[in-house]
Amino acid sequence: MILLKGGLVVDPESETTRIADVLIEDGVITNIGNIDIEAIDNANEVRIVDCEGLIVGPGLVDVHVHFRDPGFTYKEDIYTGAKAAARGGVTSVVLMANTKPSVDNIDTLNYVINKGRETDINIYTCASITRGLQGKEIVDMDALLKAGAAGFTDDGIPILDEDVARTAMEEAAKRGAVLSFHEEDPKYISNNGVNRGIGSEYFGIGGSDRQAEISMVKRDIDIALETGARINLQHISTKEAVDLIREAKRSNRGKNIHAEATPHHMSMTEEDIILHNTLAKMNPPLRTEEDRRAIIAGIKDGTLDIIATDHAPHSKEEKEKKITDAPSGIIGLETALTTCYKTLVKEEKLDILQVFCKFSRNPAKIYEINAGALAIDRTADLVIFDPKKEWIYNKSQSKSFNSPLKDQKITGDVVMTICRGKIIYENL
């Protein structure tokens, strides 16, 4: 048994926060309130954790991560990815399908699911929308859903053929499945990972124009409204895309349109790629301060209803290449909650409850995952966060360490992660 004493308990499902104790027995939350240790049977077997001054919330649910397994395990594998997730208070993840081979068949899907069961966290995976991520032939959705796919995505590769995107949405809508879309049209991109603006000018390259995202967000919203498909527009980066999503959600038919904000797009701008070079190169790229402000506004008003990291490991050797050759992507699992707390709570005065709504409850509901609540009789997936703890981010549980926050001093840290009632990370 574990007794968490005197923390700020945050439950996004009931939308409540209060100072309380939390008792965990046999993997389940059995009591929340003012708990007398003497009244507990077998009190001598209870691990008491002093949570005064700490935030106790449901484990984070990250529905956009890359663990690179199978095929690219020199960057990350399912075991190291799970450890990085635990370090960041993430107890449930949904993996992307752009592995090698891609998750377009039952054998690869089973490989990922079975390997995930060997970790300490809850691992789910999407299957790809199209076979081999080629953007042409739709996968066998029925077979993959039956085998346990959490949804479908060609993330990393946009689906350029409008007819294919429409067919995918029509078929997914029939089955109630979630489709996640990477929205970047390459015809507007000269060099990916760097915004067309001061970043591209600094490096003397063409960069990625914002229209790459805007055009595809508009297209896929229109198709989703037409078909009734349940979609997740991934890692939104532009003001115009936020506006399009907001307008769509005002429609009676817009209830199935969801969208992600990443910690990096809410906290950094194109100026950061000048500071951090390839460690701040990502798709879509960091954009302007106006775009960053629009993303925060979208988080506040519910337009962007999911926070997800797009955790994307790459090796040191890959990231040491010149800006045009290095792959796009950064890791983010270990620092996501810290970044969200700093940007949204401390700077923007957003209630911590809303952070957990968007980073735990909402993604769990959208992807139909049993998570996102801190309540009696619910599985004990929890994160304990110290908002005042200062630390240096100089070590990663991930196999890669491609983060613009590397070696920086940070305030706020995950000090304990509990999954299914077991302490899987501790640094009190």
Angular region, 332: left φ>0, alpha ψ -120 to 50, beta rest: alpha
Catalytic residue, chosen from 77, 154, 310, 381, is 310
Contact 301/358 with Cβ under 8 angstroms?
no
Cis peptide, bond prior to residue 186, ω within 30 of zero: no
Per the DSSP assignment, residues forming a β-bridge with 422 are 419
CA-CA distance, 89 to 58, in Å (whole number)?
A: 9
List the structure tokens of 379: 């599985």
CA-CA distance, 227 to 5, in Å (whole number)?
A: 49
SS3 43: helix
Contact 293/370 with Cβ under 8 angstroms?
no
Report how far Cα 193 is from the mean position of its chain's Cα atoms.
19
Q: Which helix (H) or strand (E) holds 324?
A: none
Per the DSSP assignment, residues forming a β-bridge with 68 are none
43-63 core/surface letters (b: 16 or more CB in 10 A; e: else):
eeebeebebeebbbbbbbbbb
Give the C-alpha distances (Å, rounded to integers) separating 383 from 27, 174, 238, 289, 365.
14, 36, 31, 31, 19
β-pairing, 306-307 vs 382-392, is: unpaired
Contact 298/265 with Cβ under 8 angstroms?
no
Contact 135/157 with Cβ under 8 angstroms?
yes
Place of tokens 């992807």: 367
Question: Rounded to 10 degrees, what is the CA torsion of 18, 23, 27, 30?
Answer: -80
Q: Is 413 a catalytic residue?
A: no
CA-CA distance, 91 to 59, in Å (whole number)?
A: 5
Report how far Cα 246 is from the mean position of its chain's Cα atoms.
20
Q: Which helix (H) or strand (E) holds 350?
A: none
Phi, psi of 47 (to 5 degrees): -85, 115
List the structure tokens of 112: 């990922």
Active site residues: 310
